[in-house]
Structure 1
């Protein structure tokens, strides 16, 4: 038998590998910020409409019992990408803008799973997981480690959140627009000499801040931020452009993946609806709910832009899309943008039927919107009440892609693929919820146990019930989803069972 030339054999091998790679779906996670379960019209909102997100729900599965791992952003993002509960690692609370990278670079992560399966991986939008390994961070050169070391082939981000300095874009861990003659410096302790701050110059602000919440530092685009910054004047962005820039970068990443003939995994961490809420001008005043409502409209528009981009590229059918949020809602979070006043005047409930919100131990803190759309595998127009945690995305996608997780590497991530794809309604055995004060909660079989803590029951300023109490709390979410009746005294055996399980889970370690 005549042998094929070596070049032809190599080409056939490459084609075979490409064919197998293309059998995998593209994967897009649209991860919003501070969006409540009740902020979507597909989840019952009537004051505001979110037609593009609603369309995802109509064409996929809308989960009613899916949870972020924490009621604040950094720990939720840490858990989603690392497959580990953030409370296991010190330093994973809400980070300052100059924090170092908190995800270890030597562990398996969600994007690394996709890399092993032959995907092009990218992150666009909000990062807020720290950058670099030295303090202070030198923003005038490539900052490592960062997204690349966590598993992303491409990154276009801002370092923390929009209310913290540095207020710059970074592409592949390099600041954009940087000039050698105007280097960036950041300080979270004191302002730089001559720096104009919101505290001393409120006349320069186009949106006032709550004086008790710290957003009175460096001024960018007429808005006070947390922290202080000098230099980088040509690097600073304006809030109104964020959505448009991130959308364009997300679509460009998809195009580049197509050119490379590789499936893509894109983690698009949408900056909306976190403060400062300053959406593109076309959305201002359109919601009737202040700038927060306007930011929801812009967030929904972003979903529409990306989905239209997939359609134009012929990718709708073989792209698995997940839409969710990092934690629950907050109305007043540092800026006087009319959001709280308009919501209360209209009896608008961003958490829906659930109690609490961002920072809280109550359900509105972590029970978030969660929708999956994948026409090739997921039935359209379905709902699911299966208990699901974002920490399980890593193990679930590893199972989908037939990538074994290292046997000796500890993770909290569990394979919940059947529930994720709507093949099963079985609950995860339990989930852990982390409020801002780390007084952990455990949810199992519809029962929720909240550990005692010394925190305040009501968080002034943001005006949110925290759920913190010195007493054991037990709620039957099947009959009391609003957590109005603490039944711990009536069910001591259930309290003991959940206490014991929580202690066992906490004792597990890497």
Structure 2
């Protein structure tokens, strides 16, 4: 077994003084660069994993990482929806600063432009082979709606720093329902070319709205709009024709992308690698493989959590068989909070029982309340990270700054953007973490370790389709989360000085520029 200690480079430009907890850890430099695997779940909430308190579903592989690593209690995604969370994760820039980072269509152009510095470029500079596997949802090609799906599409992951990619172009509920391997549709028969439209259907192509008798696997929930092109017995958002040999089957998506993640590990075990593994689970449409159905009493949603845990287990197995497990930093998290009914009648609501995907918090996906961005976050690194639980305030926005510190790469402020070096917190050496972080929905909010302020706005208070409280109000909102986890006691009137302080910080953040994408 190899033995490693924390890098002597817990630095970013200048050396940081290590907390007292670090005194027992040797200060010698790591002799080999650690491999880094980022496992990024989709729509898995704070309360969806057994290591975070779920009892209706068991996630032993995730629990193993949590029990032998750091399990964070106060970790946040960059946004409460998929595309902006991934943008912030890779670029280190708050997505609310940048126009065009909202939830992307399946034919969206590349949102992270090739000139933009990001995590993949950082890891390449540090000498890593880089791979992106699974859900992408950051667009591809020059402009929205202009892709030629029957050839290589660029710019894409390669142009922003990924050596290898095997991706779903957007989400499971959006066309095109095909995999892109190194930016070309996998298994495409050029005699059956693909066409995609988000404005009108193609003549003769059935839809879920007009041909419900063809919906053999899942039907859309009323009024959600997932009733356009039918792929694999499930209707989607958007219209598509052709590419029959390349279409995915929803029940084998986890198998397909997990096998590519495993293959990437096997092929790159002799050199340091960075792997982004974005799972499709548990985003809609949820239609897990038959071998996972019935593993819980919660139907497809619960069984998809079990399927996600299997994928985690396969990655762990691959790392061990490749002999690199001990020298691999694994980061596991989710892109945003949970949603139960997000467009398909899969009995997720009816079979939820006493399971609480949001844990003890209010809101969920799409919401400015806490469950919108408070997500599972686990850091596992044998012989370096000592097992424990941390309530440090951490954010996925800091992946860029933290990996820069880990690899000893110095970045100027322009490339860092909003990202900061939080390596001590991520390794369990600092229990405080960030001073504050900024989130956005209909307006901006600011979050410290114990306090949360939400700006007044005119947004709707409730999303009837997803049964989600949105956290909007025309009044100032201030919550002391140490005593009020449910955000029910608005203490803004009693703490006008603190409200004024938070408003001032938000104005300063706005003045730094960007699109203010609200």
TM-score (norm 2): 0.92
Does residue 307 of structure 2 align to residue 303 of structure 1? Answer: no
Structure-1 separation of matches of 2:66 and 2:403 = 20
Does residue 248 of structure 2 align to residue 237 of structure 1? Answer: yes
Confirm or deny: 8 A CA contact 2:262 2:314 kept in the other structure: no
Does residue 513 of structure 2 align to residue 504 of structure 1? Answer: no
Gaps spanning 5+ residues in structure 1: where?
Answer: 1-19
Structure-2 separation of matches of 1:499 and 1:83 = 23
Structure 2 SS opposite 1:180 = coil
Structure 1 SS opposite 2:246 = coil
Q: Find the counterpart in structure 2 of residue 97 from structure 1.
A: 106
Q: Which moved more, 1:102-111 or 1:225-234?
A: 102-111
Confirm or deny: 8 A CA contact 1:410 1:509 kept in the other structure: no
Q: Find the counterpart in structure 2 of residue 377 from structure 1.
A: 384
Match of 1:264 among 265, 268, 273: 273
Q: Find the counterpart in structure 1 of residue 475 from structure 2.
A: 471
Q: Find the counterpart in structure 1 of residue 204 from structure 2.
A: 194
Q: Which moved more, 1:310-319 or 1:65-74?
A: 310-319
Structure-2 separation of matches of 1:407 and 1:432 = 18
CA shift digits 1:235-263 (9 cap, x unpaired): 101001111111110011112212xx320
Confirm or deny: 8 A CA contact 1:208 1:335 kept in the other structure: yes
Q: Find the counterpart in structure 2 of residue 278 from structure 1.
A: 287
Gaps spanning 5+ residues in structure 2: where?
Answer: 1-28
Structure-1 separation of matches of 2:446 and 2:299 = 35
Confirm or deny: 8 A CA contact 2:265 2:322 kept in the other structure: no
Q: Find the counterpart in structure 2 of residue 222 from structure 1.
A: 233
Structure 2 SS opposite 1:183 = coil
Q: Which moved more, 1:43-52 or 1:121-130?
A: 43-52
Q: Find the counterpart in structure 1 of residue 9 from structure 2.
A: none
Q: Find the counterpart in structure 2 of residue 364 from structure 1.
A: 371
Structure-2 separation of matches of 1:158 and 1:324 = 19
Q: Find the counterpart in structure 1 of residue 486 from structure 2.
A: 482
Structure 1 SS opposite 2:325 = coil
Q: Find the counterpart in structure 1 of residue 412 from structure 2.
A: 406
CA shift digits 1:54-76 (9 cap, x unpaired): 11101100000000010000000
Structure-1 separation of matches of 2:86 and 2:99 = 15
Confirm or deny: 8 A CA contact 2:398 2:422 kept in the other structure: yes
- How far 1:347 moved relative to its partner? 2.2
Match of 2:187 among 140, 154, 177: 177
User: Structure 1: which 4+ aligned runs deviate by more than 2 Å?
Assistant: 406-410
Structure 1 SS opposite 2:51 = helix
Q: Find the counterpart in structure 2 of residue 213 from structure 1.
A: 224
Structure-2 separation of matches of 1:143 and 1:383 = 43
Structure 2 SS opposite 1:371 = strand
- How far 1:407 moved relative to its partner? 4.3
Does residue 432 of structure 2 align to residue 426 of structure 1? Answer: yes
* 1:17-56 correspondence to structure 2 within 5 Å: 23-56=32-65
Confirm or deny: 8 A CA contact 2:92 2:416 kept in the other structure: no
Structure-1 separation of matches of 2:414 and 2:320 = 41
Confirm or deny: 8 A CA contact 1:21 1:263 kept in the other structure: no
Does residue 253 of structure 2 align to residue 246 of structure 1? Answer: no
CA shift digits 1:26-71 (9 cap, x unpaired): 0000000000000011111111111111111011000000000100
Structure-1 separation of matches of 2:62 and 2:242 = 39
Match of 1:397 among 403, 407, 410: 403
Match of 2:345 among 328, 336, 349: 336
TM-score (norm 1): 0.93
Structure 2 SS opposite 1:340 = coil
Structure 2 SS opposite 1:282 = helix
- How far 1:396 moved relative to its partner? 0.5
Does residue 453 of structure 2 align to residue 449 of structure 1? Answer: yes
Does residue 359 of structure 2 align to residue 349 of structure 1? Answer: no
